């Protein structure tokens, strides 16, 4: 079954999806360094990310958001605790299995865009598919490229693109293979409000139209308002959660947390 089929499958409609977990963290602890310089970036984080749901992770600088994303996406290993992508426990995987899982099931948009400088924008976008020996769904590729405003930049190399354009290329690359789950660490961090809106609405569409799961880190209440749920981190712990957020409700909650 392709991801598209899954997206159209009525069994995966939100009413049924409640029990289906796309990713889970169970009592995650991440300690960096040792002795006096030791930092506990994650201090026992447990969270489920339901299939077909868009979650935003918010919290002060240094609260552990990027660390959590990196552990969830299999880019970093927690000191203790467990991460699952679907039914797959990441701790049980060898390097080769981990690489395959990241390649086939996960899309990333991170702040360091990791574009390959010698490839054009289009080649960068289709690179994960090319490596996996899969072909892009041309219609979806066209849609993504158009909606992210990249149609006339496809033959440019990353150095010939602005920071915001590079970020949109990274976003297109994460979306085009329709992975089960997309992680974004401040995917709209460098974008003006128009481009930012385009990125968020296409992430929203990947959830609503294809049943994919999206988890992003953001500092922006407007970006968070595109999500179904906001999870608030402070000092490496989940301290609050909000369903069906609006800009105002997110701002209120942020203020309340700052005043703790
Ligand atoms: N490689 C590392 N070595 C040592 N400490 C680290 C490392 N990476 C992160 N940290 C520390 O772990 C804590 C959490 O960092 P993290 O990057 O997860 O925060 P964040 O919530 O993403 O912050 P920001 O909003 O500024 O991006 C911070 O105190 C940070 O200094
Ligand atoms: Mg961060």
Atom of ligand 1 nearest to the CA of 42: 14
Ligand 1 within 6 A of CB of 32: yes
Residue 17 in this model has a pLDDT that exceeds 50:
no
pLDDT category of residue 9 using cuts at 50, 70 and 90: very low
The residue with greater pLDDT, 170 or 8, is 170
Rounded distance, CA 122 to CA 198, Å?
Answer: 18
pLDDT category of residue 50 using cuts at 50, 70 and 90: very high
Residue 10 in this model has a pLDDT that exceeds 50:
no
- Work out the average pLDDT over 86-113: 89
For CA atoms 50, 115, 132, 84, give the dihedral sign.
negative
Nearest CA to ligand 1 atom 3: 32
pLDDT in tens, 223-239: 999 999 999 999 999 99
In this structure, which ligand is nearest to the CA of 237? 1
Domain layout of the chain by residue ranges: 52-71+94-258
How high is the pLDDT of residue 137? 92
Both tokens assigned to 138: 């041309």
Buried residues in 66-86 as b, exposed as e (16+ CB within 10 A) = bbbbbbbbbebebeebebbbb
Q: Which of 35-49, 159-173, 241-255 has the lowest mean pLDDT?
A: 159-173
Nearest CA to ligand 1 atom 12: 41
Neighbouring residues of 64: CB distance < 8 A, sequence distance ≥ 6: 30, 41, 42, 43, 45, 233, 235, 236
Query: Class of 52-71+94-258 per CATH?
Result: alpha beta
Ligand 1 within 6 A of CB of 79: no
How high is the pLDDT of residue 189? 86
């Amino acid at each position: 079954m392709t991801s598209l089929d899954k997206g159209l499958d009525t069994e995966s409609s939100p009413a049924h999806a409640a029990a289906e977990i796309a990713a889970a963290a169970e009592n995650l602890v991440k300690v960096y360094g040792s002795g006096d310089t030791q930092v506990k970036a994650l201090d026992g984080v447990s969270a489920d990310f339901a299939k077909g749901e868009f979650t935003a992770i918010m919290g002060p600088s240094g609260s552990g958001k990027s660390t959590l994303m990196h552990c969830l996406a299999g880019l970093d290993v927690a000191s203790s605790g467990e991460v699952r992508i679907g039914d797959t426990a990441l701790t049980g995987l060898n390097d080769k299995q981990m690489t395959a899982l990241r390649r086939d099931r996960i899309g990333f948009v991170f702040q360091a865009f990791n574009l390959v400088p010698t490839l054009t924008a289009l080649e960068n976008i289709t690179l994960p598919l090319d490596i996996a020996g899969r072909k892009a769904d041309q219609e979806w590729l066209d849609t993504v490229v158009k909606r992210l405003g990249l149609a006339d930049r496809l033959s440019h190399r990353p150095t010939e693109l602005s920071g915001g354009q590079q970020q949109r290329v990274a976003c297109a690359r994460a979306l085009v293979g329709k992975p089960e789950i997309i992680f974004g660490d401040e995917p709209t961090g460098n974008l003006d409000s128009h481009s930012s809106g385009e990125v968020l609405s296409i992430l929203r569409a990947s959830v609503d139209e294809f049943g994919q799961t999206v988890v992003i880190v953001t500092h922006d209440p407007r970006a968070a308002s595109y999500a179904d749920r906001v999870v608030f981190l402070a000092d490496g712990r989940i301290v609050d959660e909000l369903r069906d957020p609006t800009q105002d409700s997110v701002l209120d909650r942020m203020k309340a947390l700052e005043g703790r």
